[in-house]
Amino acid sequence: MPRILPFSPQLLDTQCIVDARTPLEFAEDHLPGAINVPILTNAERVEIGTLYKQQGPQIARVRGLQLTCHRFPAIVATITEAAAGRPILVYCWRGGLRSESIAQLLEMTGTPVAKLQGGYKAFRQVVSGFFESVSLPVQLVVLHGMTGSGKTEFLQQLPASDWTVIDLEGLARHRGSAFGSLGLGEQPPQKRFETLLWDAFRRAPLDRPIVVEGESKRIGRVNLPGNLYEVMAESTKVWCDVSVATRVKRLAAEYARKDYQQPMAEALERIRKKLGGEQYTELLQRLEAWDVEGLAQGLIEHYYDKLYYRVRKWEPQGTISLEEYGAASESLKEVCGI
């Protein structure tokens, strides 16, 4: 019989994690670093589930064997190749029949394997529990500033020896604004975003602050989980001061791609009511003329600066200038006392 292991974060760094669930389940979320070796396809799982409910477990299991037995050699070969000598840990939804089947296949070929106790559901409880009451062992620093300030770019160049940077917008694949999805692909499902974020916090060293960008509760279609938003509001807040001219140049540089032109027109249409007819028409004309700097200037004046941070009910612990990133990095150290 395969060993049964309770979930521990250390397993993610030592085991070849095998997800036996369907591709659809895997796409919604999975353990960090896991590979998907489904014993059933999406359609087969539906068929087996229907048989189980209508005719009972024995008929469902026999049908499952008929559907999958020809794949057994390939399943074993795929897993052993991916493991490359590492210990193997397999899981399914609740640590049931699917992970048990793969574990027994591996054991029959002489390959040691363990099952994850409680399966994905047990792991999910760990992630949810972390965000229900976020408690970080290091200082959390939150950078705030107007759209186009260059906060994300600044975060990306901070030295890893001094800071742990967690890119919330990168994990969410959205910049949190009307044009936030451009070039970032499809957003992850909520559960996947939470797992990626949990894993980023898990891997953060204990000898340096964590830095994130200030966000609203919602980033595109995903939400900051649990009480993370409230924890960010109580953390070290730093205001990033940048001239409008610099913001215009940075926004224009970020969006000056011809393949963005049509999605930008669609984004303008979505905020048409907030802009008003006259401003919408003017900005659309600038976009059609591919006057990207003019468009950025207009959005800053007529949209972003009227919408974001219009009312700020808090005072930052310090202010830094992002006109020059090198100097800003030193200023951030001073503000945070490192």
Q: From CA 215, how far away is CA 90, in angstroms rounded?
A: 36
Closest CA to 52 of 140, 246, 213, 44: 44
| CB burial readout 287-309, b (16+ within 10 A) else e | beeeebebbbbbbbebbbbeebe
DSSP assignment string, 85-111: TS-EEEE-SSS-HHHHHHHHHHHHTT-
Q: In what order do the strands lie in the sheet with 210-213?
A: 164-165, 210-213, 140-144, 236-241, 318-321
The answer to whether 308 and 147 have CB atoms below 8 angstroms apart is yes
Catalytic entry in 69, 92, 240, 336: 92
Closest by CA to 175, choosing from 211, 219, 216, is 219
| Angle ∠(314,316,322) on CA atoms, nearest 5 | 130
Contact 200, 182 (CB under 8 A): no
State the DSSP string of 172-241.
Answer: HT--SSTTTTTTS-SPPPHHHHHHHHHHHHHT--TTS-EEEE---SEETTEE--TTHHHHHHTSEEEEEE
Please indicate whether residue 336 is annotated as part of the active site: no
N-terminal to C-terminal alpha carbon distance within the chain:
52
Catalytic residues: 92
